[in-house]
Amino acid sequence: MESLTIHPQNKEQLEAIKTLLKLLKIPFKKNTYNPEFVAKIMESENQQQKQVSLNCKEDVNDYFKNLDENVQD
């Protein structure tokens, strides 16, 4: 069976969804995540987006060449 993750935008939507699920006798559970853990995951994802991968000497040369071109006096 398939699972869905629903992201209500406000408390009213959340209550409407809960009511509908109860009426349809669809079991559901509240998932709670530790906010500190979520913050660490998001920070890690942001760091990954900023990383630069240099796989060979040509990549290194191109990277530093581009840096030199973007430096303003």
Tens digit of each residue's pLDDT (9 = 90 or more) over 39-69: 898 888 888 877 778 888 888 888 888 877 7
- Alpha-carbon distances of 2 from 5, 9, 24, 40, 66, rounded to whole Å: 10, 23, 16, 28, 47
Q: Does residue 6 fall inside a structural domain?
A: no
Q: Does residue 3 fall inside a structural domain?
A: no
Q: Does residue 45 fall inside a structural domain?
A: yes
C-beta separation of 67 from 61 below 8 A: no
The total number of structural domains that make up the chain: 1
Q: Does residue 5 fall inside a structural domain?
A: no
Model pTM? 0.44
Q: Does residue 52 fall inside a structural domain?
A: yes
What distance in Å separates the CA atoms of residue 22 and residue 28, rounded to the nearest whole number?
9
**Full domain range(s) for residue 31:** 11-70
